[in-house]
Amino acid sequence: MSQRDEIPPGTLYMLILKTLARQGEMHGYEIANSIQQISEDVLQVEEGSLYPALQRMLVKGWVKAEWGTTAGNRRARYYHLTPLGRRQLALEVSKYERVAAAIARVLQPA
């Protein structure tokens, strides 16, 4: 079994936003799976915590939700990005890159 890591704090929003940006519309289970697959199972979302995060993003207006049906013909809530969410994603990514680059510089062998 491969090593699994908790996602770094504060990046959950960014991961959800990015996932939605890439895939368009998804429900919660799909988002959780998608993050895991793309990260090649390294990043593990504590699955339940997706939902409070999605609610906070709904309040902030970054995502919108609509009810639809799954392939298995079950009712599911599908989330998609809003223009505001797209802007937020750009913001989060650039912030993350700044921080990551800084950390990388610190870690570079002298």
Partner 1 sequence: MEGLNRLIRRLGMLLRREQFDRDLHDEMRLHLDLRQQEQIERGLSPEDARFAAQRRFGNPALLREISGDAWGWRGLEHLGQDLRYGARELLRTPGFTAVAVLALALGIGANTAIYSVVNAVLLRPLGYKDANRLVTILNDGTDPVAPANYIDWRDQSRSFEVMGAAEYWSPNLTDSDPSQSNPPEHLYGLQVTQNLLPMLGIDPALGRIFIPGEDRKGSEHEVVLSDRLWARRSNRDPNILGKMITLNGHGYTVIGIMPPEFKFPPFWATRAELWVPLALGDSLHDRDVNTLRVFARVKRDVTLGQARADIATITGRLEREYPGTNRDVVVTPLKENVVGKIETPLLMMLGAVGFILLIACANVAHMLLARISDRQKEIAVRTVLGAGRTRVISQFLTESLLLAALGALAGLLLALWGTKVLVKLSPAYIPRVETVAIDAHVLLFLLGVTLLTAIVFGLAPAMHATAGDLNGALKEGGRGESDSIRRNRLRSFLVASEFALAFMLLIGAGLMIRSFFALQSIDPGFNPHNVLSMIVSVSGTNEAEPGRRAMFYPELMQKVRALPGVRSAGGINHLPLAGDTWGLSFTIEGRPKPRPGESPEAVYRIIMPGYFETMRLPLLRGRTITSNDDARSPGVVIINERAAHEYWPGQDPIGERITFDDDKSNPPTWLTVIGVVKNAKQEDWVSKPYPEVYLAALQNPDFMGYGGSPIAPHMAYLTLVVRADGKATGIASAVKRAVWSFDRNLPISEVLTMDQVVADATAQPRFEMLLFALFGAVALVLAAVGIYGVMNYSVSRRTREIGIRISLGASRAAVLGMVARQGMTQALAGTAVGLASAVLLSQLMRKLLYGVRPTDPITFGGVAIVLGLTALVATSVPARKATRIEPMTALRNE
User: What is each CA distance from 20 to 1, 2, 98, 100, in whole angstroms?
Assistant: 28, 26, 22, 22
What distance, in Å, lies between the first and last C-alpha atoms of the chain? Answer: 35
- When the beta carbons of 60 and 98 are compared against partner 1, the nearer one is 60
**Site for partner 1 (CB under 8 A): which residue of 2, 3, 48, 108?**
48
- When the beta carbons of 2 and 108 are compared against partner 1, the nearer one is 2
Using rule CB under 8 A, residue 52 touches partner 1: yes
Q: Which residue has the tokens 């950390």?
A: 103
- When the beta carbons of 24 and 51 are compared against partner 1, the nearer one is 51
Contacts with 42 (C-beta within 8 Å, 6 or more apart), sequence order: 2, 3, 4, 5
Question: Which residues of the shown chain bind partner 1 in the complex (CB under 8 A)?
Answer: 27-29, 32, 46-49, 51-52, 54-56, 58-61, 67, 70, 74-77, 84
